[in-house]
Amino acid sequence: MALADLIKFYNEFSPESVSRFPEFYSPDAYFKDPFNEVRGLTAIERIFSHMFKQVAEPRFAVIETISDEHGAMLIWEFYYRVKLWGKGQAQVMRGASHLRFDAAGKVNYHRDYWDTGEELYMKVPLMGSLMRGLRRVLAA
């Protein structure tokens, strides 16, 4: 698998492409983000299928890559609208994915890093007000 193909997969990600994970991920791949920690293709596909049910117009944009033959860091932006909020204002979440590859070049480790406070909770009505207030109090 070429890293460029994986990046293209994410940049063109759609509900239909969830079934393409086996092209890029090993059968026992590990995945972790702030809300999930799973192993195996079925569980990973379930997480991304769930994402398409929760948000409207999701789109990943990989904006920077650092890599070698063993793995990569993908710096990305995730654009979406929250269905729960009536497909309100477009949102953007910024984060990074740490990937490791197996001997066949497939992803066997995928760890997403993003700030749930800034990138999610501060955008939620009511909770966002509380988070912004805490931020003001704690800032130097």
Q: Whole-model pTM?
A: 0.81
Q: Tell me, which fold does domain 3-114 have in CATH?
A: Nuclear Transport Factor 2; Chain: A, (3.10.450)
The token pair at 101 is: 């590859």
pLDDT mean over 104-110: 96
pLDDT at 139: 63
pLDDT digits (tens, 9 = 90+) for 28-53: 999 999 889 999 999 999 999 999 98
| Residue-wise pLDDT tens digits, 48-81 | 999 998 888 899 999 999 999 899 999 999 998 8
Q: Residue 119: which residues within 8 A CB-CB, separation 6 or more?
A: 93, 94, 95
- Rounded Cα gap, residues 136 and 140, in angstroms: 9
Residue 81's pLDDT is what?
83
131 versus 76: which is more confidently predicted? 76
